[in-house]
Amino acid sequence: EIVLTQSPDTLSLSPGERATLSCRASQSVSSSYLAWYQQKPGQAPRLLIYAASIRATGIPDRFSGSGSGTDFTLTISRLEPEDFAVYYCQQYGSSPMYTFGQGTKLEIK
């Protein structure tokens, strides 16, 4: 079973700053099957990025994804107030079909 470890657990930044969130897999993951989600309090997760680097419909271009193999990154170029939330990476594999990371909380400094 592939384990996804996200870092840091909490990231404190100010609006306008750049955020870099990491997702490391315990074994190699196909880039085609790595996604990122954003979750705000009391809301369902929202798909941001899939196939490691493709933005989902309606996602602003300040969000970008990169990486391959075991190391993947979500970057938010200039933080807007609405970007402060919890972010999860997710991989698709054989068993279990979907695995999520433990999440990174992006909070206002």
Which residue ranges make up the site for another protein (CB under 8 A)?
1, 32-33, 35, 37, 43-47, 50-51, 54, 56-57, 88, 90, 92, 95-103
Q: Which is nearer to another protein, 13 or 92 (CB)?
A: 92
Q: Nearest approach, Cβ of 52 to another protein (angstroms)? A: 9
Q: Which is nearer to another protein, 15 or 96 (CB)?
A: 96
Radius of gyration of the chain (CA): 13
Q: How far is CA 82 from CA 43, 79, 92, 98, 106, in A?
A: 13, 8, 28, 27, 11
Nearest alpha-carbon partner for 4 in 71, 70, 101: 101
Q: Nearest approach, Cβ of 68 to another protein (angstroms)? A: 14
Q: Which is nearer to another protein, 51 or 108 (CB)?
A: 51
Q: Which is nearer to another protein, 4 or 79 (CB)?
A: 4
For 89: left if phi > 0, alpha if psi spans -120 to 50, otherwise beta; the answer is beta
